[in-house]
């Protein structure tokens, strides 16, 4: 491989690493780490579920987390009549507006015989955005997860 190709790949890898979302990574890890957690521990770390159902000998606890964010957006735009080349730049009124985004996650814990068997995520947000919001639900439980060992201090 030439030095040029190595630099190009290094740039691509570095760019992707900069996009990493630690909260999303933790939410993915929690899907296996929380399996085996007793119901009492789940309720103590995640709280009372927003919805719950029982089917046969399985219980389903669903927790919901929503975050609404607003970002300022400038009112600068391209204006014109649409009847020819009469377009130009100008300031809109008000000079600044805002864009509002909603991030959500539904985390459903499936329990059998009082123990977490599976954790699934849903919601209208997609990808790492949803997983990052799911972390808000499971973060308190990760410290008590049966398959996560506590970090050791030298």
- Asked whether the predicted pLDDT for residue 137 surpasses 50, the reply is yes
Q: Tell which residue, 114, 105, 109, has the closest CA to residue 34.
A: 109
Residues 6+ apart with CB under 8 A from 12: none
Name the DSSP class of 38.
B
| Domain-wise residue ranges, the chain | 21-142
Q: Can you give the pLDDT at residue 74?
A: 58
Query: What is the model's pLDDT at position 97?
Result: 55
Q: How far apart are CA 136 and CA 65, in angstroms?
A: 7
* pLDDT above 90: residue 62: yes
Averaged pLDDT, 44-60: 95
Average pLDDT score over the chain: 75
- Spell 27-37 as b/e; 16+ CB within 10 A means b: bbbbbebbbeb
Identify the helix (H) or strand (E) that includes residue 6.
helix 3-18
Name the phi and psi angles at 84, rounded to 5. 130, -170
pLDDT tier for residue 152 given thresholds of 50, 70 and 90:
very low
């Amino acid at each position: 491989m030439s030095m040029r190709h190595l630099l190009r790949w290094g740039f691509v890898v570095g760019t992707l690493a900069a996009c990493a979302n630690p909260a999303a990574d933790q939410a993915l890890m929690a899907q296996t780490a929380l399996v085996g957690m007793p119901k009492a521990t789940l309720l103590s770390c995640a709280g009372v579920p927003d919805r719950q159902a029982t089917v046969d000998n399985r219980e389903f606890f669903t927790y919901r987390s929503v975050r609404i964010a607003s970002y300022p957006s400038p009112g600068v735009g391209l204006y014109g009549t649409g009847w020819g080349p009469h377009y130009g730049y100008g300031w809109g009124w008000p000079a600044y507006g805002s864009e509002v985004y909603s991030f959500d996650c539904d985390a459903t814990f499936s329990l059998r015989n009082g123990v977490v068997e599976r954790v699934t995520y849903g919601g209208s947000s997609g990808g790492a955005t949803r997983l990052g919001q799911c972390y808000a639900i499971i973060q308190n439980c990760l410290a008590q997860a049966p398959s996560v060992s506590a970090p050791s201090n030298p």
